[in-house]
Chain A
């Protein structure tokens, strides 16, 4: 079981590394395109119409990738005050319930996004010089984001279940300690102590 979960963790780390690279690239795209927009408007007095659209689509993709990455490094804001008073077993049980609910939501969103893709495939972007179906900017990033969140949630759920089987292990047992370690290695020093 532990060996299997360790392999799973390596997979998650690979996904997280990919998400970081793509996400940072998208942020760079936003900064560069908008700067170009200001520049072209004032220097050449001729704004490029599709620049704004490129930046907006990079923003949407970046948001869903960031949300998925944030789930892996436990950056989503949670209310933890009460859970910590439940004791190790109670904490682990509550976390399992939370991950199960997240999985339910991801399943709802991902399946619906899948259906929506069919509808959106027919409408096109407005200003871009290349012809791309709209779904690539709406339902596809939503689908990818929720699937990525679900993959991480399954892992956290299994880790918590393992901790529960061992009798629980305090507030930092299970998925959280791993998320904390990742957050530290990703350079957000606030979570490291």
Chain B
């Protein structure tokens, strides 16, 4: 394993295969690399990232945290519940898990450490709850999947709401069990009373309106997700100035951060374009389908096998890279088995996000261990119990398509 960035490795290996095969001229592949990212839905990527960065810098994350603290701080497990709750609410305006882990995660870990929680546990809860970010809309990875699978972004967004909330509740159930059985040190906060809940709610209300605006807009079909991304950015800037928590300097930094985050992401997308050709040339989808169908022709067995394959891949590779390779390879087989592309997309996205929490390559662990200043071994030990609720949600999503498809079907004609 040399320290070669994911996007470069992807492009280099794919171009190597194509050069060896010699069937497709390099000029056509390179031409497609730039034109392959020319897609209007992709414009939502920088917009969602920017909106999340602005919300983080405009003190909106802090308001959400205060509201979550008043709401669930008194339950056994205390700040660990607050952590999950705040991430769930923040998920409604941020589209990348990394932003959740680095943004609101910083606030969460700081408070948990100050109140006597173990730093490794604080880092683990923040990483696990950051996974909810891209499942509850908006979501950058859903946009990437939708464009690749030619699925509806709006349907995917709507399909993510129920599993996202469920995942938050499952994580909170695990926290509660750990607190009650004395597996974690969790000093409880006193119940602040309804007055405090109302006060923090009002303070957080403008921020809470953003996801309502966004989901409402998608459902009503008044604007495309890209346009709603732009409106959310304008809303965040207006809100930040109105509450005097945002300066031009902060906006500049948020934009620079957005530039590199989305540039790196889109570079991976562009680098995966030649990989699509490799998939076509080597007839990988047909071969993989034959292989899987050779093991069993039962739908549930194949779904289980696909999940295991993706989880293993998620341990060693970056989320977007796997998504871009796996979608063209697996989608034909899934359609053959009668799995809806939105259902498959959600299953794969949840699976790959769990992959971002598994060693040796777990991006979210790297981020929160840096913030909490704990060792990799310590955070890996602390994250172990949280695989149970996450795997539980993944199982539900895999084998209960109605739960996923319920909300999008509700709004279809």
Contacts and interface: CB of A to CB of B under 8 A. Distances in A.
Contacts of A63: 37, 262-263, 266-267, 270
A26 to B, nearest CB: 8
Contacts of B6: 76-79
Interface of B: 1-8, 11-12, 15, 26-27, 29-31, 33-35, 37-40, 42-43, 46-47, 50, 102, 223, 226-227, 229-231, 233-234, 252-253, 255-264, 266-267, 270, 316, 318, 359-361, 363, 367, 370-371, 373, 376
A186 B255 CA distance: 11
Nearest to A19: B259
A138 B31 contact: yes
Contacts of A69: 259-260, 263
Interface in A30-72: 30-31, 34-35, 37-38, 52, 55-56, 59-60, 62-71
Interface of A: 20, 23-24, 27-28, 30-31, 34-35, 37-38, 52, 55-56, 59-60, 62-71, 73, 75-83, 94-95, 97-98, 101-102, 104-105, 108-109, 112-113, 115-116, 119-120, 137-139, 141-142, 186-188, 190, 193
Contacts of B37: 59-60, 63
Contacts, number: 196
A16 B117 CA distance: 41
Contact of B1 (A37, A79, A104): A79
Given A63-B262, A70-B264, A77 B5 contact: yes
22 contacts: A24-B255, A24-B259, A27-B255, A34-B230, A37-B227, A38-B223, A38-B227, A52-B40, A75-B260, A75-B261, A75-B264, A76-B267, A78-B3, A79-B6, A95-B2, A102-B5, A105-B8, A109-B11, A113-B30, A113-B34, A116-B27, A142-B33
A142 B273 CA distance: 14
Contacts of B367: 190
B262 A62 contact: yes
A67 B46 contact: no
A177 to B, nearest CB: 14
A73 B34 CA distance: 23
A187 B262 CA distance: 16
B43 to A, nearest CB: 5
Given A59-B42, A75-B260, A28 B15 contact: no
A76 B264 contact: yes
Given A82-B360, A97-B2, A67 B264 contact: yes
Contacts of A81: 1, 359-361, 376
B234 A31 contact: yes
A71 B3 CA distance: 13
A32 B230 CA distance: 8
B12 A119 contact: no
B262 A98 contact: no
Given A76-B8, A119-B27, A138-B31, A31 B47 contact: yes
Contacts of B50: 27, 31
A64 to B, nearest CB: 7
A164 to B, nearest CB: 14
B281 to A, nearest CB: 18
B384 to A, nearest CB: 18
A101 B270 CA distance: 18
